[in-house]
């Protein structure tokens, strides 16, 4: 549906309007940051880029960015929410399990859901 893989077992958290006909989608998991990054390296067959070391954020571009038609480049971003001793990303669903997520995955499909190059 989003034009790119979603880590198996990741929980859908929410989607947000990114503008210019795009949405971005957040997923949470209690797999480690390294596990998620390795999954996307293997699945997308690319290295991606560690764009921040503290807190760790790794990005994978999966399509061409067209500034005139997109708010964000299509891709996958992975962020470690346990960095620096943090308890993790709070689950926004009341009384839901898990209470917090170690790692958040943000997926930005190309407009229309196709992430092609």
Residue with tokens 């921040």: 52
**Which ranges of 1-117 does DSSP label H, i.e. alpha helix?**
33-44
Predicted local confidence at residue 116, as pLDDT: 41
Neighbours of 89 (CB within 10 A): 20
And the tokens for 78? 């992975």
Residues sharing a CB contact under 8 Å with residue 37, sequence separation 6 or more, in sequence order: 48, 58, 78
Of 33, 111, 29, give the one whose Cα is nearest residue 74.
111
Query: How confident is the model over 44-59, as pLDDT tens digits?
Result: 999 999 999 999 999 9
Predicted local confidence at residue 72, as pLDDT: 85
Average pLDDT over residues 27-47: 97
Predicted local confidence at residue 112, as pLDDT: 65
Asked if residue 39 has pLDDT above 90, the reply is yes
Q: Taking the domains of the chain in order of start, what are their residue ranges?
A: 11-113
Query: How confident is the model over 62-107, as pLDDT tens digits?
Result: 887 877 778 888 999 999 999 999 999 999 998 999 999 999 999 9
Q: State in Å, rounded, how far the first CA of the chain is from the last one.
A: 17
Average pLDDT over residues 7-33: 93
């Amino acid at each position: 549906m989003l034009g790119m893989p979603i880590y198996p077992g990741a929980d859908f958290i929410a989607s947000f309007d990114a503008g210019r006909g795009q949405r971005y989608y957040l997923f949470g998991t209690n797999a480690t940051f390294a596990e998620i990054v390795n999954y996307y390296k293997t699945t997308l067959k690319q290295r991606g880029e560690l764009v921040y070391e503290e807190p760790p954020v790794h990005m994978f571009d999966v399509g061409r960015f067209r500034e005139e038609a997109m708010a964000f480049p299509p891709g996958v971003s992975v962020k470690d929410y346990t960095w620096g001793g943090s308890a993790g990303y709070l689950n926004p669903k009341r009384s839901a399990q898990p209470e917090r997520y170690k790692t958040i995955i943000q997926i930005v499909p190309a407009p229309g859901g196709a992430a092609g190059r």
